[in-house]
Amino acid sequence: MISQSTIDSVFETARVEEVIGDFVNLKRAGSNYKGLSPFSDERSPSFMVSPAKGIWKDFSSGKGGNSVAFLMEHSHFTYPEAIRYLAKKYNIEIEETEQTDAEKAMTDVRESMYLVSEFAAKYFEDVMVNTEEGKAIGLSYFKERGFTAETIKKFNLGYSPETWDALTKEALGKGYKLEFLESTGLTIAREDRPFDRFKGRVMFPIHSMSGRVLGFGGRILTNDKKAAKYLNSPESDIYHKSKVLYGIYQAKQSIAKLNNCYLVEGYTDVIQFNQAGIENVVASSGTALTPDQIRLVNRLTKNITVLFDGDAAGLRASIRGIDLILEEGMNVRVCTFPDGDDPDSFARKNSHDALVAYLEENSKDFIQFKASILMNEAKNDPIKKADLIRDMVTSISKIPDRIQREVYIQECARIMDISEQVLVSTLAQLIQKDLADANKKQKQEQKPFDVVRNQPSKNANYSGGDPEDPRNGPPDDYPGDFGYPAEQEKVDILYGFERKIIEILLLYGSVEEDFEDVFLKADEEGNVKEISEKRRYRVYEKVYLSLQEDEVELSNTLFQNIYTNIIEFYNQNEAFSLDKYLMHLQPDFAQEVTNILMEDEKVNIHNWEGQNIFPKHKNETIEQNVSETIFSMRWFLVSKLIHELKNSLISDPQEDNSELLMMVVDYSKLLNNFSKKLGRVVVPYHGG
Residue-wise pLDDT for 309-349, tens only, equals 766 555 665 677 788 888 888 899 999 888 888 899 999 99
Given a contact cutoff of 8 angstroms between Cβ atoms, the answer to whether 196 and 182 are in contact is no
Given a contact cutoff of 8 angstroms between Cβ atoms, the answer to whether 157 and 125 are in contact is yes
Rounded-to-integer distance, Cα 261 and Cα 280, Å: 5
Per-residue pLDDT at 458:
34
Domain 109-239 is classified in which CATH homologous superfamily? Answer: DNA primase, catalytic core, N-terminal domain (3.90.980.10)
Largest separation between any pair of C-alpha atoms in the chain: 113
Per-residue pLDDT at 526:
59
CA distances from 545 to 417, 537, 539 (A): 78, 10, 10
User: Following DSSP, what letter does each residue of 32-81 receive, concatenated?
Assistant: EEEE--SSS--SS--EEEETTTTEEEETTT--EE-HHHHHHHHS---HHH
Given a contact cutoff of 8 angstroms between Cβ atoms, the answer to whether 516 and 484 are in contact is no
Given a contact cutoff of 8 angstroms between Cβ atoms, the answer to whether 65 and 55 are in contact is yes
Given a contact cutoff of 8 angstroms between Cβ atoms, the answer to whether 232 and 215 are in contact is yes
By C-alpha distance, which of 205, 236, 311, 303 is closest to 263?
303
By C-alpha distance, which of 148, 133, 355 is closest to 262?
355
DSSP E strands in 233-387: the ranges are: 261-264, 281-283, 303-308, 331-336, 364-365
Rounded-to-integer distance, Cα 683 and Cα 688, Å: 15
Between 54 and 271, the more confident residue is 271
Q: Is the pLDDT of residue 405 over 60?
A: yes
532-538: long-range contacts, CB 8 A cutoff, minimum separation 24: 536/512, 537/512, 537/513, 538/509, 538/510, 538/511, 538/512, 538/513, 538/570
Task: Map out the domains of the chain as residue ranges.
Answer: 4-104, 109-239, 249-265+283-437, 462-584+621-688
Residue 310 dihedral angles phi and psi, to the nearest 5°:
-95, 15
Residues 413-452 have pLDDT tens digits of 888 888 888 888 888 888 888 777 766 665 555 444 333 3
Alpha helix locations (H) across 401-467?
Answer: 402-416, 420-445
Rounded-to-integer distance, Cα 171 and Cα 184, Å: 13
Among 72-86, 213-227, 391-405, 615-629, the least confident range? 615-629
Alpha helix locations (H) across 455-526?
Answer: 486-508
What is the percent of the chain with per-residue pLDDT over 90, rounded to a whole number? 24
Average pLDDT estimate for 566-586: 75
Per-residue pLDDT at 481:
33
Mean pLDDT of the chain: 79
3-state helix vs strand vs coil in the chain, percent to 5: 55, 15, 35
The DSSP symbol for 244 reads -
Given a contact cutoff of 8 angstroms between Cβ atoms, the answer to whether 303 and 259 are in contact is yes
Q: Which residues are 516's β-sheet partners?
A: 534
Average pLDDT estimate for 392-414: 86
Residues 261-288 have pLDDT tens digits of 999 988 999 999 999 999 999 998 767 8
Question: So what's the architecture of 249-265+283-437 in CATH?
Answer: 3-Layer(aba) Sandwich (3.40)
Per-residue pLDDT at 295:
85
Rounded-to-integer distance, Cα 556 and Cα 645, Å: 23
Given a contact cutoff of 8 angstroms between Cβ atoms, the answer to whether 495 and 514 are in contact is no
By C-alpha distance, which of 286, 284, 282, 293 is closest to 247?
282
Given a contact cutoff of 8 angstroms between Cβ atoms, the answer to whether 128 and 159 are in contact is yes
Residue 531's identity, in one-letter code, is I
Q: Which residues of 310-335 are buried (b: 16+ CB within 10 A; e: fewer)?
A: eeeeebebbbebbbbbbebbbbbbbb
Per-residue pLDDT at 485:
39
Given a contact cutoff of 8 angstroms between Cβ atoms, the answer to whether 575 and 512 are in contact is no
Per-residue pLDDT at 448:
42
pTM of the model: 0.60
* CB atoms near residue 236 (< 10 Å): 17
Residue 661's identity, in one-letter code, is L
Q: Is the pLDDT of residue 681 over 60?
A: no
Per-residue pLDDT at 420:
87
Assign 283 to helix, strand or coil: strand
Considering 144-148, 583-587, 662-666, the range whose residues carry the highest mean pLDDT is: 144-148
260-264: long-range contacts, CB 8 A cutoff, minimum separation 24: 260/301, 260/303, 260/304, 260/305, 261/297, 261/300, 261/301, 261/303, 261/304, 261/305, 262/304, 262/305, 262/307, 262/359, 263/289, 263/297, 263/304, 263/305, 263/306, 263/307, 263/321, 264/307, 264/308, 264/343
Average pLDDT estimate for 208-219: 90
By C-alpha distance, which of 51, 65, 15, 35 is closest to 595?
65
CA distances from 66 to 79, 139, 243, 299, 579 (A): 12, 42, 25, 19, 8
Per-residue pLDDT at 511:
83
In the structure, what pLDDT confidence band is assigned to residue 591 with cuts at 50, 70 and 90? confident
- Please provide the distance, in angstroms rounded to a whole number, between the alpha carbons at the two ends of the chain: 54
Residue 381 dihedral angles phi and psi, to the nearest 5°:
-90, 110
CATH of span 4-104: 3.90.580.10
Q: Is the pLDDT of residue 227 over 90?
A: no
Given a contact cutoff of 8 angstroms between Cβ atoms, the answer to whether 285 and 270 are in contact is no
Rounded-to-integer distance, Cα 503 and Cα 600, Å: 10
Residues 475-532 have pLDDT tens digits of 333 233 333 334 444 447 788 888 888 888 888 888 888 887 765 555 566 565 666 7
Average pLDDT estimate for 37-47: 82
Q: Which residues are 230's β-sheet partners?
A: 219
Torsion of CA 614, 618, 623, 626, to 10 degrees: 130
Between 71 and 133, the more confident residue is 133
CA 596 to chain CA centroid, nearest Å: 18
Please count the residues of the chain: 688
CA distances from 504 to 542, 593, 619 (A): 11, 11, 10
Torsion of CA 648, 652, 656, 657, to 10 degrees: 20
Among 92-101, 298-307, 395-404, 462-471, the least confident range? 462-471
Q: Is the pLDDT of residue 260 over 50?
A: yes
Average pLDDT estimate for 10-25: 88
Assign 376 to helix, strand or coil: helix
Residue 284 dihedral angles phi and psi, to the nearest 5°:
-85, 0
By C-alpha distance, which of 343, 248, 254 is closest to 295?
248
By C-alpha distance, which of 110, 42, 118 is closest to 76?
110
